[in-house]
């Protein structure tokens, strides 16, 4: 038991350190700022609601919820992200409670929130059932659980698939993050503890980058999982070059797919459509 606890503590410390790499808050603002408000709207957050944002990062969903008048706790495993969120909240003139917390062992009372949500956050906790159980536990009966996650077949899911051969092996028992973007998987995690489940696939259009190479270099400097992957192969120039090329090819493939489907607007420049799954449910 002690060895298992020690291994889990080491795993969580690695996750915490990984998300402190680069500049995820800037990435969330530059690229996916729309997602937080979309999740908050889908969860129907109202003034006076008690809301918990799990794996909140710098608050890209928590802050919009607070701007609706909700009483919000933003929790995350990485305190460096929360510190950025505090400054961002001050700029918007809202007050939130920022707490360092593990999504798999939340330090909150049972049935204490009207809305429990996560925007591309809980998907990165390694043990999916433990995380889902905690989301269920802290949500009051009749309350709302709302999660927005990248899909396995979408751009971010395919980016993780591209990086997997170059990354350090996952910890025993850890599950792939993009599984949270599979409706059947999420329904199985929540089981009969929820009712009135809705699941919607959608895309967010990404037009921040001028080329696939610019996308790759931005993620190499900003996104913790990508930085960690490159560090893992840093002493092998051939593998670094191979991953460089594969990420550029991925960007080209999804730009072409976006153009073909009409998601790229005018079709000028470099744009991509990134697919996500948004699930809302009522705690039974």
Annotate 97-149 with DSSP letters as a single string: EEEE-BTTB--S-TT-EEEEEEES-GGGSS-HHHHHHHHHHHEEEEEEEEEEE
Query: Is residue 267's pLDDT more than 90?
Result: no
What are the tokens at 177? 């993050």
Asked if residues 147 and 52 have their Cβ atoms less than 8 Å apart, the reply is no
The pTM assigned to this predicted structure is 0.94
Tell whether 117 is covered by a domain.
yes
Residues spanned by the domain of 181: 2-152+168-205+274-283
Counting the structural domains of the chain, the total is: 1
Q: What is the pLDDT of residue 6?
A: 83
- In the numeric block, the tokens 């489907």 are attached to 261
Tell whether 212 is covered by a domain.
no
Q: Tell me, what CATH number does 140's domain have?
A: 3.40.50.150
pLDDT tens string 40-55: 999 999 999 999 999 9
pLDDT tens string 69-123: 999 999 999 999 999 999 999 999 999 999 999 999 999 999 999 999 999 999 9
Tell whether 26 is covered by a domain.
yes
Query: Is residue 175's pLDDT more than 90?
Result: yes
Tell whether 229 is covered by a domain.
no
Q: What is the pLDDT of residue 8?
A: 87
């Amino acid at each position: 038991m002690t060895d298992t606890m020690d291994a889990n503590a080491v795993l969580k410390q690695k996750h915490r350190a990984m998300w402190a790499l680069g500049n995820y808050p800037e990435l969330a603002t530059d690229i996916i700022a729309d997602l937080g408000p979309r999740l908050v709207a889908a969860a129907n957050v109202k003034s006076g609601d008690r809301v918990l944002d799990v794996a909140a990062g710098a608050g890209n969903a928590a802050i919009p919820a607070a701007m609706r008048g909700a009483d919000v706790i933003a929790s995350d495993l990485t305190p460096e992200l929360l510190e950025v969120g505090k400054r961002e909240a001050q700029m918007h003139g809202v007050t939130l409670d920022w707490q360092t917390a593990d999504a798999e062992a939340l330090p909150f009372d049972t049935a204490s929130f009207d809305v429990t949500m996560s925007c591309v956050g809980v998907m990165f906790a390694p043990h999916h059932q433990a995380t889902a159980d905690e989301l269920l536990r802290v949500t009051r009966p009749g309350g709302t659980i709302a999660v927005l996650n990248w899909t396995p077949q979408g751009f971010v899911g395919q980016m993780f698939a591209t990086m997997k051969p170059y990354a350090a092996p996952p910890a025993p028992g850890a599950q792939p993050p993009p599984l949270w973007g599979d409706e059947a998987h999420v329904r199985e995690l929540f089981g009969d503890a929820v009712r009135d489940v809705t699941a919607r696939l959608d895309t967010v259009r990404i037009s921040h980058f001028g080329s696939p190479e610019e996308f790759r270099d931005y993620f190499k400097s900003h996104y913790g999982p990508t930085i960690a992957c490159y560090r893992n192969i840093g002493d092998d120039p051939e593998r670094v070059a191979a991953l460089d090329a594969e990420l550029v090819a991925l960007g080209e493939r999804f730009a072409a797919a976006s153009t073909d489907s009409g998601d790229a607007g005018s079709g000028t420049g470099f744009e991509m459509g990134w697919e996500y799954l948004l699930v809302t449910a009522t705690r039974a």
